[in-house]
Every structure is written in structure tokens, then in C-alpha cells.
Structure 1
């Protein structure tokens, strides 16, 4: 398994590398750090480029990539790549596809209040076009120890199964606790959703999913949780988040097949999320032995900072 890291020679790039190392250690993966060399274009600031400019720029990128590789511990295999592209996002997606990467890891800066992500132009493009799952590292992410728990945010629309299969595949590769969450906003701005709706939805998703090797799931620790609050952001904030946790979320129904489109609800979740997020493309597929089957799983109602069984 390989993870592509969209590396930049700044703190955001360091955040991405740290998260990629944590993922690699929990999934037994190798890393491919990628930087993009801009293609010559009449729309660039300097065109045509000065003689020797490209070689100088390529040398600088190579030096920055060496610095990025130095951040990767010895126990995680890693390589560096320079790719050409008119669009940085497009070049990163192409690299991920060519290298058969399972995920594309990038840093998402935060310029606002605590725990809030700020998505730049490259991250924004990836979150509306990538054909592989995109992993967002929050600002200041420094943890490199293996991931401790996976949480799947499951909505009521089509696509929940894609997120569930991805979470199950990751949890099975290296046994990890798995939490299935449905978020319910009970405020006036989000009228119509109820806790019972979320509980029924999660139960239906868990019971409808099937797999070819149910016995292997006996090793997994699976919880089903309802997170509720006045708003979606409040519901996210009230959930109990562990250090080293990841949230998986699906793409909007507006996404093209096998592609990502970050929807309105995911954007709201991102504003309050204290942990990294993985965005799964629409109809993202895993092999049949990675599908999910489970027996009845108790549902937990997260009404406050702690999760209390109903």
C-alpha cells in the first residue's frame, strides 16, 4: 500500500508528512512525497522563462524534498518525486493514480479560531476533483504514532456504504477500533432530523452490509454512536474524540462517479473537527474480502462530552 503526500516546503507540508507517517505506521504503507514543477505557460509571471531557470527551480524542489524525506522516520519507507503540471492539484491526482496510491495526504492550514480548517486553492481543487481518497491534516499536526481509532460519519443519503467499506478495510488491515457516527442537529435551523432517525439509519446500514468473512470481524471493536447538538458543528464538538483518531466522510451526491465533491454538511463538520479527515470518493470500491458484515451493534447516544448508552 502506498500513500502520496502533497508536500510543500512549509509548516503545512510538515503537517502532511506527520499525518502520513501515522497512517503508514497503522496501515503498513510506504510514502511517496510529491512536489509539482509548474509547466511553462504564457500565463506565468515570467514567460518565456530565463535560460537555466527550470534547472534551478528543479534543484530547489529536490532540496526541499530531501528536507521532507528527513522528516520521515527510518521505519517508514519513503521516496520523493517531482512532477510537472499546469495545475498542482491535477498533477497530484495524476501521481496518485500512476503510483496506485490508496490515499492522497495534504496539509490544510488554519487561520481562524481553534480547531478550524482553512482550505486553500490546491486543497479546494482536490476536494472537488480527486479520484482517490483525500486526507486533510489540520494545522500543527505533530503526531506520528499509529492511528488509534477510525470514525465513519454516515449520512442518510446514498454513499454511506462507500465510507463504511473504506473504514472496515482500514480497520481490518491493522486491527483498529471503529466507530460509526450519525450526526443530528436539533436546532431550529436544522428542523426535521431526530435522534430516532439517526439511530434507525445507523442500524439499517450496519445490518444491510454483507461480507464474505464474518469471522474475521470478531477481532474488530465496533461502536455505533448518535452525535447530537443544536447544530452539526455542536454535535461534532460534543463527540468524544481520541488522540490519534481519524474521521472518514463521504462525498456529496453532486460528485461525479469515482470522484470527490466536498458537500455542505462535510464543510460544516470541518469547521468544528479537532482531528484529521479522510474524504472518500463517490462509489469508491474495495475488493470483496473487505466488505462489512456484523451482528447487532448497540447504538450510543452522544448527548454531551461523554457518550452514554441509552
Structure 2
């Protein structure tokens, strides 16, 4: 198994690399640290005898990659790759395809709050085009003290179509030997079911609990009898407030599914996942609506 980290010599790049190391160690995967640089553009004033801009940039990029690789612990096998493309996101996806990587990892944009996700141009493009799971590291994740993934939280909605997400989460937990927490979110916002509307608040909560129990039974059927799996319902006035009721610890990761609006074999961040992304303080993994292991 191979994981691609989209790397830049920035704090955001260090956040993504730290998450890549944590995931690679947990999954027993190899790490591919990939840097994508813009291609050379002719500059009329450049003297013919001067070194090519692309050559200079490549040398600098290789030095940055070497420094990044030097920070990877000895128990994680890492490789570095330098490529040129007009689009960092597309260049990264080209490397994912070339290397046969199972997932891509990036850090948050540099202007977000510490411990929170901030979507920049690259992560936004990947969230709407990646054919493999995308792992997003929150700002400051490079300071995480957790050597491995501690627990996987799988956020499953009450709608149908979550089977791929559940299978992916179960498979990941089996590989990493980590507990699985299944969460069903119930939000009572003005655009949904209000507390004074019909069906009642209690009815919706009970429906969510029944759904969570059904999902829990499905997950347990795919796991050994002694595998640690739990299920709970989180509710609030909004998705954000529902997520805020959950407890998180260093080493946790949350997995969400791609929107049903996604094109075949591509990601598309849905509205619920986007709202979760604003408040969760742990890495988020967005899973495509298809199963990459079963599509080979």
C-alpha cells in the first residue's frame, strides 16, 4: 500500500507530512512525498548563458524534499518525487495514478485557526476531483504527539448509500487494529426538522438511534466478535453543534463519505461534511462513493 503526501516546504506541508507518517505507520504503508512545481516559463530578459529557471527550481525542490524525508522516522519507508505541472492538484493526482497510491494526504491552508481545517485552492480542487480517499490534516497537526491512529470515527447519515464508507472504515480499522466509532448526526436546523415540527424531536432521535443500531449490527457482522466498535447519536441545532458534542483525542481521525452529486470515481464534498470540516479538530478522510479495492 502506498500513500501520497502533497508536500510544500511550509507549515501546511509539515502538517500533511505528519499525518502521512501517522497513517503510513498505522496502515503499514509506504509514503510517497510528492512536490509539484510550476513549469518553466520563458523570460525574454534572461541571458542564454544563465541556468534554466526550471533547473534551479528543481534543485531547490529536491533539497526541500530531502529535508522532508529526513524528518520521517526510520520505521516508515518514504520516497520523494518531484514533478512539474501548471496545477498542483492535477500534478498530485497524476502522481497518485502513476504510483498506484491508495490515498492522498494534504495539510490545511495557512490562514486557518490552529487545530482547525482551512480549505485552500489545492485542497478544494482535490475535494472535487480526487479518485481516491483524501486525508486532510488540520492546521498545527505537525505538533501531534500520537505515533499512530488511536480511533476511527465514521460519520454515517440516515440516508442510503453509506455502504462504501462503512466498508472502507471497517477495512481501515482491521489494518490498523484500531477501535471504530460509528456516529449518526441529527441536526435540527431551520432548513430541516425543527424541534416544534412534525415528526417530533423525540421521534427523529429515535429514528436516528435505530439507524445507528442497524449500522452497528452491519459493522459487527464484518468484524471479529471481539473487535471494539461503538455507536452513538449526536444531535444539535446544527450539524456544527452536533459535532461539537463529540469528544476527540490526539490520534483520532474522522471518515466521511463523498456527496451523491459526485461524478463516478471522483470526490465531491457534501454539505454535511463541509459543515463538519469547520469544527472537527482532528484529521478528516473523505471517501469516494465507489470502492477502489473492489473496482480493480
TM-score by length of 1: 0.84
CA contact (8 A) 1:7 1:33 kept: yes
**Displaced runs of 4+ in structure 1, greater than 6 A?**
47-50
Considering only aligned residues, what root-mean-square deviation do their CA atoms show, in Å? Answer: 2.3
SS of aligned partner of 1:171: helix
Task: Name the residue aligned to 1:191.
Answer: 193
How many residues matched? 282
* Contact 1:183/1:235 (8 A) holds in 2: yes
Say which SS state the counterpart of residue 269 (structure 1) adopts. Answer: helix
Structure 2 stretches lacking a partner, 5+ long: 195-200
Q: How does 1:133-144 map to 2 (within 5 A)?
A: 133-141=133-141, 142-143=143-144, 144=146
The answer to whether 1:217 aligns with 2:224 is yes
The offset of 1:219, in angstroms, is 3.9
**In the alignment, structure 1 residue 203 sits paired with structure 2 residue 210:** no
1:103 equivalent in alignment to 2:97: no
Deviation per CA, 1:196-237: give whole Å up to 9, x if none.
2322222333445697xx5x5224200011111121101111
In 2, Cα distance between equivalents of 1:48 and 1:269: 49
Match of residue 73 from structure 1: 73
For residues 85-133 of structure 1, the C-alpha deviation after alignment (integer angstroms, 9 at most, x for no partner) is 2211111111112211111000013634554321110110000000010
The 10-residue stretch of structure 1 (151-160 or 89-98) with the greater mean CA deviation from structure 2: 151-160
CA contact (8 A) 1:146 1:244 kept: yes
Q: Please give the per-residue CA displacement for 1:217-275, whole angstroms capped at 9, x wherever unaligned.
A: 22420001111112110111111112210000001111011110011111100111111
Tell me the SS of whatever aligns to 2:26: helix
Q: Is the 8 A contact 1:7 1:16 kept in 2?
A: yes
- Residue 158 of structure 1: how far off its partner (Å): 3.7
Contact 2:114 2:138 in 1 (8 A): no
Residue number in structure 2 paired with 1:18: 18
Partner of 1:243: 250
Please name the residue that 1:32 is paired with: 32
Q: How does 1:229-308 map to 2 (within 5 A)?
A: 229-287=236-294
Summarize the alignment of residues 39-78 of structure 1 with structure 2, pairs less than 5 Å apart.
Answer: 39-40=39-40, 46=43, 52-78=52-78
Q: 1:163 corresponds to which residue?
A: 165
For 1:49 and 1:131, how far apart are their aligned partners in 2? 40
TM-score by length of 2: 0.88
